[in-house]
Amino acid sequence: MNSRLPSWREGPTKRALVEFLQRCVRGPEAVPPDERVAAFDNDGTVACEKPLTALAAFLLDHDSRGPATGPGGPVVGGGHEVLRQVATRFAGQTTEQYQDAAQDFLRRVRHPRLHCLYPQVTYRPMLELIALLQMLQFAVFLCTDSSQDFIRVMAPAYGLRRDRIIGSEVRIQPVNGDLVRTATPAPLDDGPGKVAHLWDRTGTRPILAAGNAAGDIEMLASARFGLLVAHDDDDREYAYQDPRLLEVAAARGWTVVSIREDFLTLWAWSE
C-alpha cells in the first residue's frame, strides 16, 4: 500500500494509516467489503479553502458578473452565510442552470495565489488516499457543508461519482417537468448533520473519516480511524489551525496529518 501513497512522507502518520488499512482488509479484524465506508470533509481536507472556498469564490464571481442583491454589493461571510447567499442568488434556477453556472466557473476562474483552476487546488496526498480506499473496495463519500450540487460538478476531480457527494443544499421542487432551486435551505451537512446524512445514505458509520475543522468532530468521532488535517505550512499554502482541535484529537486518539511534515507533494497539479 505504501507505493499507492507516493506523496506521503514515510513516517508515523503514513505508517499508522497503512497499518490500519491492512487490518481492515485482511486478518482477524478484516471488514467485509459492503461495510467499508470512508468519509472525507471537502474544504480544508481535500481542497484548499483559503483565502476563500471554491463556493465563496463562485458566489463572488457570480455577483461581479451581474447585479448584486445585497446592499453595497456582495458580502461573503462564513461558510453558512455563503450558503445562505447562494440560496438567495440562485433561487428559481433549474438544477441544470445552476450546474452550468458552476461548470463555467470551474473551467474559467483561477485561484488568486496558486493561479490554477479550482478543481486543481486539491491535495494530491488526499486524492491518492481516496484512490487507494476505492481500490480496497471502500465506498468513499465526500461529506461537505458546501453546496452539494456545486461540489457534484467537481466530483471527477476527486475521482468520485456524483452520488458520492453529500452536502448542504436548498430544497428542490418540480415545476412543469423541471427541477427548480428554492431559497429554502435543507438541513446543513455540518457537525452532527454529517454523521446523520452519511447514515441516511449508507446505513453505517464510516470506518475511516478525515476532516480539519470543528464541524468535522462528530464525523471523526464516529469512525474507527480519525484523520485530522493540520494546516501548518504557510509556504506552500496557508497556516491556520485551531489548537483546541489538536487537543480533541490527542484526547480521542486521532491521527494528525501535518501538511508541512507529512505531505511530500501538496498539490494535484504539481509535476
Per-residue pLDDT of 97-156, as tens digits, reads 999 999 999 999 999 999 999 999 999 999 999 999 999 999 999 999 999 999 999 999
pLDDT at 76: 62
Q: Judge contact between 24 and 36, C-beta under 8 A.
A: yes
How many beta carbons lie within 10 A of that of residue 24, not counting itself? 22
**Res 170 pLDDT > 80:** yes
The β-bridge partners of 208 are 38, 225
Helix axes 54-64, 95-108, angle to 10 degrees: 100
| 33 within some domain | yes
Burial of 213 (0-12, 13-18, 19+ CB in 10 A): buried
Residue 18 lies in a domain: yes
Half-sphere exposure of 241 (CA within 13 A, CB side): 22
Question: Number of folded domains in the chain?
Answer: 1
pLDDT for position 270 = 72
Pairing mode, strands 165-168 and 170-175: unpaired
Please write the tens of the pLDDT for every residue from 57-86: 999 999 876 543 343 345 566 678 999 999
Q: Shortest CA distance to 83 belongs to which of 151, 12, 20, 26? A: 151
Task: Check residue 161 and report its DSSP letter.
Answer: -
Residue 97 forms part of a structural domain: no
Q: Give the model's pLDDT for residue 71.
A: 36
91 CB contacts (<8 Å, ≥6 apart)? 170, 181, 182, 183
Top-confidence residue, 163 or 188:
163
* Residue 34 domain boundaries: 2-50+120-169+185-262
* Grid cell in block for residue 211: 476532516
- The CB-side HSE value for 7 (13 A sphere, CA atoms) comes to 23
Give a yes or no: residue 153 inside a domain.
Answer: yes
Predicted pLDDT at 90 = 97
CATH label of the domain that carries residue 153: 3.40.50.1000
**Domain presence at residue 22:** yes
Please give the average per-residue pLDDT across 44-59, as a whole number: 97
User: Whole-angstrom Cα distance, residue 90 to residue 69?
Assistant: 11
Residue 16 lies in a domain: yes
Pick the closest to residue 90 from 43, 146, 150, 42 (CA basis). 150
Return the pLDDT at 5: 98
Does any domain span residue 179? no
94-100 CB contacts, 8 Å cutoff, 24+ apart = 94/178, 94/179, 94/180, 94/181, 95/149, 95/172, 95/178, 95/179, 95/180, 95/181, 96/178, 98/149, 98/150, 98/181, 99/149, 99/152, 99/153
Q: Is residue 226 part of a domain?
A: yes
pLDDT of residue 65: 63
Which of 32-36, 79-83, 102-106, 233-237 comes out lowest in average pLDDT?
79-83
What's the pLDDT at 69?
A: 39
User: How does the average pLDDT of the chain come out, rounded?
Assistant: 93
